[in-house]
Structure 1
Amino acid sequence: MEKKAVQTDKAPAAIGPYSQAIRVGNLLFTSGQVPIDPTNGEITGWEIKEQARQVFINIQNLLAAQGCTLANVVKTTVFLRHMSDFPEMNEIYAEFFSGTIYPARSTVEVSRLPKDALIEIETITLIPE
């Protein structure tokens, strides 16, 4: 199977040698999304809820570039700077996945994220045929 890079200007540009997302067959693997506003390249807010919302907006825009929505996501990995932010992150997560079958998920605490973000999320998505 061939792999294809996916790119959109509606999500933050890669800040290193990686692709925003990679499509292989009917699977889409997004790189970790941090709460960067793609219009100005800056972190959105300094509270976990604001940052989580921006991350999900970025993910939605990446998925839309391949005709997908969050309902197509089968797996997420959430990286939190502080595990104490888990309840608030979980609240926003539930808002964005409302009405869908929740994807499988892993959540881990990390010591630091790019641009000192509080959250980063990567996804694996099943692209409808």
Structure 2
Amino acid sequence: MAQVLHHMIPAAPTPVAPFSHAVESDGWIYTSGQIPQDPSDPDGPMPGDIVEQTHRCMRNLVTVLEGLELTLADVVSTRVYLTHFYDDYDAMNATYESYFPVGERPARTCIGVTGLARRARVEIDMVARKG
């Protein structure tokens, strides 16, 4: 059976609930969902618009990946959760796609939800693979 490692990344945002930033098993990395929380101001307000919220989520995830010596190129799948699906979908997509080269984007699911922690409009999680 593969060893399971639980990772907390010092530079990543303080968790808003009881979870690890990432869990690793057999070379697979499962990140916890990241909301647009500023790591330097954990109790500060969420950015106002979906573009900045999406950027913040992605920057938080990059921080988690870098803490494990990975990059976005190692990501195989993502899930995006939106509380204002129809209002935010296009702008979120335009922002999200800027993080991945055309032809090298991970598989993705995008889901409309009724609420997220700290009233965030977006949350994103990832699955990555080492080496």
Identify whether the pair has TM-score above 0.5, normalized to the shorter chain.
Answer: yes
**2: CA distance, partners of 1:43 / 1:127:** 34
Counterpart for residue 70 of structure 1: 72
Deviations 1:91-113 (A, max 9, x none): 11111113561100000000000
**1: CA distance, partners of 2:12 / 2:103:** 23
**2: CA distance, partners of 1:99 / 1:24:** 29
Extract unaligned runs of 5+ from structure 2: none
Aligned amino acid, residue 11 of structure 1: A
1:7 deviates by 1.3
Deviation >2 Å, runs of 4+: none
Counterpart for residue 4 of structure 1: 5
With the length of structure 2 as denominator, give the TM-score of the two structures.
Answer: 0.93
Counterpart for residue 84 of structure 2: 82
Where do residues 1-129 of structure 1 align in structure 2 (5 Å cutoff)?
1-41=2-42, 42-84=44-86, 85-98=88-101, 101-128=104-131
Across the two proteins, how many residue pairs are aligned to each other? 128
- Percentage of identical aligned residues: 30
Indicate conservation of the 8 Å contact 2:35/2:122, yes or no. yes
**2: CA distance, partners of 1:77 / 1:112:** 15
Secondary structure of residue in 1 paired with 2:98:
helix
